[in-house]
Amino acid sequence: MPSVHYRACNLCEAMCGVRIEYEGTKVLSIRGDDEDPFSRGHICPKATALQALYEDPDRLRQPMRKRDGKWEPISWDTALDEAAKGLHTVQQRHGTNSVGVYLGNPNVHNTGSLLMAALFVRALKTKHRYSATSVDQLPHMLVAYWMFGHQLMLPVPDVDRTQYFLMLGANPIASNGSLMTAPDIKGRIDALRKRGGKLVVIDPRRTETAERADEHVFITPGTDALLLLALLHEVLKTPGRVASYVDGLEVVSALVKQYPPERVTAATGVPVETIQRIAKDFVSAKAAVAYGRMGTSVQAYGSLCAWLINVLNLVTGNFDRAGGSMFPSPVFDPRTLPKVLSGGRGSYGRWKSRVRGLPESGGELPVATLAEDILTPGEGRVRAMVTIAGNPVLSTPNGRQLDTAFDDLEFMVAIDPYLNETTRHANLILPPPSPLEREHYDIAFHLLSVRNTTRYAKALFDKGPNARHDWEILLGLGKRLEALRGFSLQRSLTWAALEKLGVEGMLDLGLRLGPRGGLGGLSLKKVQKAVHGIDLGPLEPVLPGSLHTKNKRLDLAPKELLADVARLEATLNTPRAPGLMLINRRHLRDCNSWLHNAPKLVSGAPRCTLLVHPEDASELGLSAGDKARVKSRVGEVVVPVELSAAMMRGVVSLPHGYGHGRDGIKLQVAAAHAGESVNDLTDELVIDALSGNAAFSGVRVEVERVA
């Protein structure tokens, strides 16, 4: 007889509840959990990949070592011993900073990695730490650190109660939400409109979300900060409505007076009357919220965008209140964990990258500097790497340069279940089991949820005696590194305690010490019994009590952000460069670079196409189905053309995460749908200068027809 297992899908940020029918070790079906109070039966096509990842014949199931260019299986003890020895040898020879570490996006979806990776990174004792953060949400985290005192104090739109939703550079119907955990966002948007509310989308492409909106406004890529300043100019014609714990309103009011809509309309492409109307509607709405995501984050002014969106919500009285921008209250809160496990509340500029001098943020350097940190000779050069569930060759700017750099390393270890575009460079691959073979609790996404909930699931299938969880691999490597450096009683006791606690022990401790723990409160056992999850109600005001600033006040005008406005101001007097502007895009069945080996998710028409406005195509002599050569400063790709009136004139689009045509990978399905990597065009020198975050949006390219 089939059995049923309930859990949350962990393949994107939405935390959709799933109902998995299985028999023995075979999955029979995966569908939405109708009794999940948060997702209410909704799932997207990606949920089926839970089965695909579990069954994938290409997934590595034991450690692999490369010798003379060929891969061979080895035991776990041998693999961990050799990995630790190789890293230690490089550090002895070249110094502790000669080893780099990169953490990819899947770590955020993995309970064990989130709890244990920080300890391992700390054990490496290197300043060369990188992650997907600096090709994604770093501007949001840096602004949160400056304004609210903690990099994980990330406000989310209260979409279920707002009446006016202003969305910039976001496409949650394709992404399922990002820094906004909102399962069935399509249904939530429909509910917004049914109750008389309005959705306005500002984007260089009429996205899937824009198609469902009340209004879509085209904007020139990279100019969102100018638009936000102009909106604030209009909004602050009347005194702002800020709470008593907020400082800096006068400074912001003086700043935005310099940016009337008439000054920014040419640069942004947004008409003056449209800016004025949006500002008026936003202020007059019973509850309004502004939200910006990838399009505003991965651009040259990403930090300014994140800041100004917060300012717009704050000065209109739409912050920390129902229907506005609010903070979730997770029952397991990483912000309360010791710094050694959580990474702390944030930091900025404690050290800088050795070639370009870009600042660290939150203990990490911008990954846009990684290739030059490997390739540039001199003291502190990166000679060895550890990658953890990441594929930076496809996910970071100028991927071809990083491809070359990885070949230049003396030693490399990859903790990853696949032989992919990045791990093919490794000496050792240490593969963890699939998501269905591990316990799951969404530590990160309860911090970003549009409703307070909690849910835990044990592993559906036993990982088997010859497998190691991610956290077991990390602890095993960390222990061995410490041992090679010499005995430390304190460190030995720490490793032993963590091994004994494990993931479940740490989760239980965090729940019991959390705001809903204590005598008679939540524990892991109680959460686990609620197989469909526990609904803890809508978001509630938490300020000023939850601020992490030293003076418990909110700074509306951080000096670093104010100073960066001068860089933005200069663009108003700079002639537009020739060529087209390239942006990327998401698809509902894509998840960065790591689900393209799931057959159901890559079926249908090819998705790695260059979207071109028909009038731009006519000028370039392009027709639908033609091959086009797309060139940037760093490289070129040849891709099929797809005509789309959904594109703004002068803007073209390629999807993110493709480029599986490289030699030496073992991804049969992905290789058959290889496509081209947009990051063979993006430029590692084009960044948000304040945060160092990669600027993927608005890359200058030339496009020509390939005969």
pLDDT of residue 91: 98
CATH number of 158-329+550-566: 3.40.228.10
Is the pLDDT confidence value at 343 over 80?
Answer: no
Residue 239 burial (CB count, 10 A)? 9
Taking only the tens place, the pLDDT of each residue in 506-565 is 999 999 988 898 888 999 999 999 999 999 999 999 999 999 999 999 999 999 999 999
Taking only the tens place, the pLDDT of each residue in 642-661 is 999 999 999 999 999 999 99
Of 693 and 573, the one with more pLDDT: 693
The CA distances from residue 690 to 109, 222, 582, 643, in Å, are 28, 15, 22, 36
Give me the CATH topology for the region 3-55.
Phosphorylase Kinase; domain 1 (3.30.200)
pLDDT of residue 359: 97
Q: What backbone phi and psi angles, to 5 degrees, belong to 291? A: -145, 130
Report the candidate in 445, 167, 164 with the shortest Cα–Cα distance to residue 295.
167
How does DSSP assign 124-181, residue by residue?
A: HT-S-EEEGGGGTTHHHHHHHHHHHSSTT---EE-TTT-SEEEEES--HHHHS-SSSB
pLDDT of residue 488: 76
Is the pLDDT confidence value at 493 over 90?
Answer: no
Residues 6 or more apart whose Cβ sits within 8 Å of residue 34: 19, 40, 41
Rounded to whole angstroms, how far apart are CA atoms 492 and 394? Answer: 37
> CA 611, 615, 616 angle in degrees (round to 5)?
55
Average pLDDT of the segment spanning 660-668 = 96
Is the pLDDT confidence value at 446 over 80?
Answer: yes
Query: Percent of the chain having pLDDT more than 70?
Result: 99
On the CB side of 309, CA atoms within 13 Å amount to 30
Is the pLDDT confidence value at 339 over 80?
Answer: no
User: Where does the pLDDT of residue 151 fall: very low under 50, low under 70, confident under 90, or very high at 90 and above?
Assistant: very high
pLDDT of residue 244: 95
pLDDT of residue 463: 95
Is the pLDDT confidence value at 33 over 80?
Answer: yes
CA-based torsion, 609, 612, 618, 621: positive or negative: negative
H or E element, residue 332? none
The CA distances from residue 412 to 13, 77, 100, 129, 427, in Å, are 30, 17, 9, 14, 5
pLDDT of residue 180: 97
pLDDT of residue 1: 84
Strand order across the 428-430 sheet: 70-73, 64-67, 428-430, 411-415, 384-388, 99-103, 129-131
Is the pLDDT confidence value at 332 over 70?
Answer: yes
Strand order across the 26-32 sheet: 3-8, 17-23, 26-32
- To which residue do tokens 């069954």 refer? 55
Is the pLDDT confidence value at 90 over 90?
Answer: yes
Is the pLDDT confidence value at 501 over 70?
Answer: yes
Q: What backbone phi and psi angles, to 5 degrees, belong to 630? A: -110, 125
Average pLDDT of the segment spanning 342-368 = 94
Taking only the tens place, the pLDDT of each residue in 381-395 is 999 999 999 999 999
Give domain limits for the chain.
Answer: 3-55, 64-136+333-442+456-532, 158-329+550-566, 575-706
Taking only the tens place, the pLDDT of each residue in 587-633 is 988 888 889 999 999 998 999 999 999 999 999 999 999 999 999 99
Taking only the tens place, the pLDDT of each residue in 59-82 is 999 999 999 999 999 999 999 999
Is the pLDDT confidence value at 338 over 80?
Answer: no
- To which residue do tokens 């686990």 refer? 528
The encoded tokens of residue 322 equal: 């129902």
Asked if 682 contacts 552 with a C-beta cutoff of 8 angstroms, the reply is: no
Q: What average pLDDT is seen over the chain?
A: 95
Is the pLDDT confidence value at 403 over 70?
Answer: yes
Taking only the tens place, the pLDDT of each residue in 152-194 is 999 999 999 999 999 999 999 999 989 999 999 999 999 999 9
Taking only the tens place, the pLDDT of each residue in 276-306 is 999 999 999 999 999 999 999 999 999 999 9
pLDDT of residue 341: 63
Question: What is the rounded radius of gyration, in angstroms, for the C-alpha atoms of the chain?
Answer: 24
> CA 298, 302, 307 angle in degrees (round to 5)?
145
Asked if 454 contacts 534 with a C-beta cutoff of 8 angstroms, the reply is: yes
Asked if 179 contacts 173 with a C-beta cutoff of 8 angstroms, the reply is: no
Rounded to whole angstroms, how far apart are CA atoms 183 and 692? Answer: 31
Give me the CATH topology for the region 64-136+333-442+456-532.
Rossmann fold (3.40.50)
Q: Please give the span between the terminal C-alpha atoms of the chain, in angstroms, as a whole number.
A: 59
Report the candidate in 242, 189, 240 with the shortest Cα–Cα distance to residue 211.
189
- Does domain 575-706 match CATH 2.40.40.20? yes
User: Where does the pLDDT of residue 340 fall: very low under 50, low under 70, confident under 90, or very high at 90 and above?
Assistant: low
Asked if 134 contacts 692 with a C-beta cutoff of 8 angstroms, the reply is: yes
Asked if 199 contacts 189 with a C-beta cutoff of 8 angstroms, the reply is: yes
Asked if 597 contacts 670 with a C-beta cutoff of 8 angstroms, the reply is: yes
Q: With a threshold of 0.95, does the pTM exceed it? A: yes
Average pLDDT of the segment spanning 323-337 = 93
Average pLDDT of the segment spanning 307-319 = 98
